[in-house]
């Protein structure tokens, strides 16, 4: 059976607030529109949902059961919409396990404190996901990567402490970053 979502919303609001007038204010409709929505709903379902006493209303037993179900249903929808909106404010970073463990995860709490509206999700793996909401971060030789895949180049300087050997003695190269 098909019923109007607007009629269900009007019914849920009137049932929760105990008034067609208050439901109309909440939904930015007129009390007459609320009354029509509920009358149409009652006609489709072939039941009375409210006892009407002038301007006062009270739920019937059937109305109370429907009110409970519609309130729970709309609450679930609202919660799902909140989750969807929060998902839009998440940054998903996929990187190697070593970079995540050594750099990103230690900095995650500070980032989230400085940016309370953004959640940071860090996952590890070697594959580069191509979804628009995932930021793949990899350490390596940029010459082996498609130019369109590179978002930013980083470079680092190396400094020594007094008493270290002169650069001329480093012919074999220096390991700057190692992981197990």
Domain spans, the chain: 5-85, 90-153
CA distances from 96 to 41, 110, 161 (A): 56, 20, 30
Class of domain 5-85: mainly alpha
Q: How many CA atoms lie within 13 A of 35 on its CB side?
A: 10
Reading phi first (left if > 0) and then psi (alpha if -120 to 50, else beta), residue 46 is in left
Domain 90-153 architecture: 3-Layer(aba) Sandwich (3.40)
> Which residues of the chain form beta strands (DSSP E)?
50-53, 56-59, 90-95, 119-124, 134-137
List the pLDDT tens digit at each of the 180 positions of the chain: 789 999 999 999 999 999 999 999 999 999 999 999 999 999 999 999 999 988 889 999 999 999 999 999 999 999 998 887 776 677 778 887 777 887 888 888 888 888 887 878 888 866 655 555 566 666 666 677 777 766 666 655 556 666 666 556 556 665 555 544
Contact 157, 129 (CB under 8 A): no
Reduce the DSSP state of residue 93 to 3 states and report it.
Answer: strand
- Residue 97 is predicted with a pLDDT of 79
Cβ count within 10 A of residue 41: 19
pTM for the whole thing? Answer: 0.52
Cβ count within 10 A of residue 23: 26
Q: Which residue has the tokens 């860090």?
A: 122
């Amino acid at each position: 059976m098909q019923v109007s979502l607007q009629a269900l919303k009007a019914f849920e609001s009137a049932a929760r607030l105990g008034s067609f007038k208050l439901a109309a204010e909440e939904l930015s409709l007129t009390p007459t529109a609320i009354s029509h929505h509920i009358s149409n709903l009652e006609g489709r379902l072939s039941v009375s949902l409210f006892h009407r006493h002038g301007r006062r209303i009270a739920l019937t037993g059937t109305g109370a059961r429907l009110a409970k179900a519609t309130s729970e249903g709309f609450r679930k929808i609202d919660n799902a919409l909140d989750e969807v909106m929060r998902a839009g404010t998440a940054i998903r970073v996929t990187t190697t396990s070593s970079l995540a463990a050594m750099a990103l995860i230690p900095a995650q709490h500070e980032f989230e404190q400085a940016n309370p509206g953004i959640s940071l999700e860090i996952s590890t793996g070697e594959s580069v996901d191509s979804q628009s909401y995932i930021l793949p971060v990899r350490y390596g030789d940029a010459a082996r990567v498609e130019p369109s895949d590179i978002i930013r180049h980083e470079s680092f300087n190396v400094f020594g402490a007094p008493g270290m050997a002169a650069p001329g003695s480093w012919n074999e190269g220096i390991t700057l970053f190692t992981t197990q």
